[in-house]
Structure 1
Amino acid sequence: MYKSSIFEEKDADKVLAFMQAHSFVTLIGYDGIYPVATQIPVHIYHNEHEIRIVGHIMKKTDHYQAFAKNENVLALFTGAHSYISASSYQEPAVASTWNYSAVQAKGKIRLMNDDETREVIKHLTNSYEDPSKSPAAFHKMTDDYINKNLKAISGFEIRVEELNNVFKLSQNHPNANREKIVANLTQSNDKNAQEVAREMKEML
């Protein structure tokens, strides 16, 4: 990760909120030869002592085999990003750049048993489906269907040991440049650019 103190968010609550808002992560491990990765939705649990990342993966995959061999993993949380043209600057004859936000969580993964995995799937499903109304709610599935599919997946829990972030939003520029960048990004049809503009505006 590109680390610079000027781009680091010091407020732990804001970092956690970002993780929860961008919880479709890239989960990365190492199989002894190559890095392996998968993209999955997760839930983040926290208290004053620790942060845990919980989700599930398919068993017959390279990443499952890697996680079973090597418990050290990296979860990458990514937010909006956008090209920043130096034409926005008061002195534009310099390099352009890219603004973005990201959090990297390093920790040790524990693969779960069937009972734990069932609870993970139940919680995930009921987070997106209304249990009282949705025909796709967890309790609408038959036990035979659930048990059959549980054989193919494994829940997991990551206890976060190291958390790093970069919220690169032109903090190293004078306000005049930042205001012009926000104005230009706001006019873009790109939703990423508009989101970066919104985040920058909050910091001005």
Structure 2
Amino acid sequence: MYIPRWNKIEDRDTIRQFVGDVGFASLVTPSDSGLKVTHLPLLYVDSPGDGVISGHMAKGNDHWKVFDGEQESVVIFQGPNAYVSPEWYETRPAVPTWNYGVVHMRGAVTMIDNADWLIQHVDDLGDFHEAGIGDGSKEASYEEIRTKLLG
């Protein structure tokens, strides 16, 4: 969909807030057999430059096999959206449209083969999404995570 310049947001803090509020994205990567698409909980992590998106996926998901550290992927965070009727405009003529919030991020995916990093990532992901829920206690079985996930 065409995005008029007055609706395009490029402020890094606003984008980070949106990504954090949504927290779930579609990861799209081209491969020899077509597009790979995986839906994942992801975290925006401050780092030099434009920041980093941190995530993990199940070893059973073959999407990770196409990551070579160079192939560009797209991460799509989709927020709320709704139809806008021309009946709602005060001025005429008016056309129907769609209001939506979405962030596209592009870059190469780098796999991290480090169990300690993976445990810390899953812990950080849980802390982020559990903020304000319950007493903050942790019940995850990290031994199971080590054998079934990749970062």
Identical columns (%):
21
**CA separation of 1:133 and 1:96: change in aligned 2, threshold 3 A:** closer
Give the C-alpha shift of residue 69 in structure 1: 8.2
The equivalent residue for 1:37 is: 37
Residues 85 and 6 of structure 1, relative CA distance in 2, 3 Å threshold: same
Question: Residue deviations 1:14-72, cap 9 Å, x none?
Answer: 22211221121111112222111111111111246331111110112132223358642
CA contact (8 A) 1:30 1:67 kept: no
**What are the ranges of 5 or more consecutive residues in structure 2 without an aligned counterpart?**
none
Q: Distance in 2 between matches of 1:120 and 1:84?
A: 39
**What residue number does 1:24 align with?**
24
Assess if the C-alpha contact under 8 Å between 2:69 and 2:108 holds in 1: no
What is the 5 A alignment of 1:28-177? 28-47=28-47, 49-67=49-67, 71-113=71-113, 114-127=115-128, 128=130, 134=137, 137=138, 140-141=139-140, 145-155=141-151
Report how far residue 75 of structure 1 moved.
0.8
2:38 touches 2:63 (CA, 8 Å); kept in 1? yes
Look up the SS of the partner of 1:110 in the other structure.
Answer: coil
Q: Which runs of 4+ in 1 moved over 6 A?
A: 129-132
Q: TM-score, normalised by structure 2?
A: 0.81
Partners of 1:78 and 1:19 lie apart in 2 by 9
CA-based RMSD: 2.6
8 Å contact kept, 2:69–2:109: no
Q: Do the aligned residues in 2 keep the contact of 1:84 with 1:99 (CA within 8 Å)?
A: yes
Select the structure that is richer in helix. 1
Asked if 1 retains the 8 angstrom alpha-carbon contact of 2:119 and 2:145, the reply is no
The answer to whether the 8 A contact 2:76-2:105 is kept is yes
Q: d(CA) in 2 for partners of 1:126 and 1:94?
A: 45
CA drift of 1:109 comes to 0.9
TM-score (norm 1): 0.62
